[in-house]
Amino acid sequence: MTSPPAQRDVQVLPVGADSWVLQARSWTRLKFEIEYALQRGTTSNTFLIQGAKTALLTPPGETFTALFLVELERLIPLARIDYVIVGHINPNRFKTLLELLKLAPHLTIVCSNPGAAALRTLSEAEEVPVGLPELQVIRSQETLDLGRGHELHLIPTPTPRWPDGLCVYDTGTAILYTDKFFGAHVCGEPLFEGSETVDNTDRRYYYDTLMAAQARQVETVLERFETWPAQIYAPVHGPLLRQLGRDILKHYRAWNREQTSQSLSVALLYASAYGNTTTLSQAIARGITKAGVAVEAINCEFASAEEIRSTLEHTAGFIIGSPTIGGHVPTPVQTALGIVLSTAGKSQLAGVFGSFGWSGEAIDLLMGKLQDAGYSFGFEPIRVKFKPTAATLQQCEEAGTDFAQALIKKAKRANPPTRQIDTPVEQAVGRLVGSLSVVTTRQGDAASAMLASWVSQATFNPPGLTVAVAKDRAIESLMYPGDTFVLNLLKEGKHLPLMKHFLKPFGPGEDRFAGVETLDAQNGSPVLKDALAFLECRVANRMDCGDHWLVYCTVEAGDVQDSAGKTAVHFRTTGTHY
């Protein structure tokens, strides 16, 4: 994507009758969270609806505060705005809201009941001198009539990730303002989505990182959305959807079914003080779901004891995450831990993670209580000081995948599959021959590698190839369009040491290259010194192929390190495994 001279701006565009979007755009990632990992930038969409009265929907975060307020005042005098509807609130967006209230203290804030609680907490933390203005709290579906045909239906849409969720349908324009739903972290020029703007990879990745772990609650929200005959779906992130609107509903439903139909599931319980523990939970959930195990995320601050108990009764494992506040475990997590100890069977696999500022007593306490109770753990406790980095999020994702794979192996041991004789087709597929290679990549402080034999040249011009990557491989998250890697072709007669090294199991976050001689490629990824040849590649596309991703890449550079050597080849007798 080509970046304009300014890395951030706010554009104002009409979206319907008496309706505008103030689209805050960033061509760079605003902060590191797994949801932004594709690094395609993002937009934060704020909407203005003007009837006899005027409503502003969800101001952006503080990164855009100054730019946003300038453009807003150009669009309309602040004195003429009556309501600010807060679809969701966080410390970042609260800063912009405070600046807006300084200029327009007459505003009425419209929010959900959990949103009101969050606003009061943030107001106390920020020590707002005059407090908050009047709050109009939405506890169930209500309407707000702006006049001139703009009757707004306010739809509470709580999920574990956004318990304060509030969406809006405008009967005057048939626009459904979906807040976090149907978004994509991508930045570009067009306002409405077209084939050149966002492909399904972006929206699927957004779903996988933010929605998959709360599929049951997402399905409830989709049912509410079906009530409204929307012509436009307007999310808070990414382009708006017009013709593709009904398609995204179908996609979300299909993706939900993938999650809820899994035979194994994990309860992911957490609370978060500043958002860091939530970010870690997202990465862990992503690792679990991509390995084919469902996640049921539970925000302990808003879940009932019965919800926690009923979830634990049917899950194969549980993971608890907590911040450390004043050297202690927050009360909602303490309550959840008590329910775990009284409900979860000792055969259920356990995990613990958390973030902290100056100490991490909460993680130690959770670990100790579960150890004393006799639970087994799927990974070592994850302790992250302050904000997570690319490396710590990679560690979390790999820990989630390991946890899921341990559950799958345990289930197979309990119910071993009947050994089937390979069919003629499977035997014939096994005769396909592949060159033995090692895929290596490094992005910032995150790096990974895998042994690969399902590699094939795909194009002459540009020179391109395909690599099949199993969905539960750790490296998968570093092989999206735009990412770079090196394909190291192994040399016959010298391939066994490298094969053994890259076939061994690695712990979450463990250095794949320890003890291996490497050089740095031009794209920053490691080149194996003992490889026969190497190709520097850039991912152009990837296709969902059942249990694998088929990654197509173009070759940007490469060299043969031993012109007299031959490529090591992998021979199989069956197509049912590598």
Region of residue 475 (left: phi > 0; alpha: psi -120 to 50; beta: else): alpha
Bridging pattern class, strands 83-85 and 108-112:
parallel
- The Cα 163–Cα 305 span in angstroms is 16
Hey, which bits of 157-226 come out as E strands? 166-170, 175-179
SS (H, E, C) 25-48: EECCCCCCCHHHCCCCCEEEEEEE
Give the pair of three-digit tokens for residue 209. 């990182």
Q: Work out the pLDDT band at 84, boundaries 50, 70, 90.
A: very high
In the DSSP assignment, the letter for residue 475 is G
- The Cα 14–Cα 350 span in angstroms is 51
Give the pair of three-digit tokens for residue 418. 């009947």
Domain locations along the chain: 8-258, 262-414, 424-570
- The Cα 113–Cα 156 span in angstroms is 9
The pLDDT value given to residue 32: 58
The pLDDT value given to residue 2: 42
In the DSSP assignment, the letter for residue 555 is E
| Domain made up of 8-258: CATH architecture | 4-Layer Sandwich (3.60)
Bridging pattern class, strands 232-235 and 265-270:
unpaired
What angle, 0 to 180 degrees and rounded to 10, lies between the N-to-C axes of helices 331-343 and 361-372? 10
- The Cα 573–Cα 11 span in angstroms is 59
| Domain made up of 262-414: CATH architecture | 3-Layer(aba) Sandwich (3.40)
- The Cα 548–Cα 115 span in angstroms is 40
CB proximity list for 198: less than 8 A, separation 6 or greater: 184, 186, 238, 239
- The Cα 572–Cα 578 span in angstroms is 7
Please give the average per-residue pLDDT across 155-169, as a whole number: 96
Kindly tell me if the per-residue pLDDT of 3 is higher than 90: no
Share of the chain above pLDDT 90, in %: 83
Share of the chain above pLDDT 70, in %: 97
The pLDDT value given to residue 6: 59
What count of Cα atoms within 13 Å lies in the side-chain half-sphere of residue 511?
A: 8
The pLDDT value given to residue 1: 40
Q: How far is CA 468 from CA 45, 450, 451, 542, 547, in A?
A: 37, 11, 11, 9, 10
Residue whose entry in the numeric block shows the structure tokens 């929907």: 57
For the domain covering 424-570, report its CATH number: 2.30.110.10
- The Cα 553–Cα 556 span in angstroms is 9
Residues 178, 193 contacting (CB under 8 angstroms):
no
Q: Is the dihedral of CA 190, 196, 198, 202 positive or negative?
A: negative
What is the Cα 359 distance to its own chain's centre?
27
Residue 483: is it exposed, middle or buried by C-beta count within 10 angstroms (0-12/13-18/19+)? buried
Q: State pLDDT tens for residues 278-304.
A: 999 999 999 999 999 999 999 999 999
Q: State pLDDT tens for residues 543-564.
A: 999 899 999 999 999 999 999 9
Q: Work out the pLDDT band at 27, boundaries 50, 70, 90.
A: confident
- The Cα 100–Cα 20 span in angstroms is 18
Complete DSSP assignment for 219-231: HHHHHHHTTS--S
> Considering only CA atoms, which of 396, 402, 400 is closest in space to residue 509?
396
Q: How far is CA 502 from CA 437, 510, 548, 550, 560, in A?
A: 10, 12, 19, 21, 21
Give the pair of three-digit tokens for residue 260. 């809820």
Q: How far is CA 44 from CA 33, 71, 184, 358, in A?
A: 16, 14, 10, 32
**Per mean pLDDT, which range of 207-221, 236-250, 295-309, 525-539 is the poorest?**
236-250
Hey, which bits of 4-105 come out as E strands? 8-16, 19-26, 42-50, 54-57, 83-85
The pLDDT value given to residue 194: 67
Q: How far is CA 317 from CA 160, 264, 295, 401, in A?
A: 18, 9, 10, 13
Q: Work out the pLDDT band at 4, boundaries 50, 70, 90.
A: very low
Q: Work out the pLDDT band at 274, boundaries 50, 70, 90.
A: confident
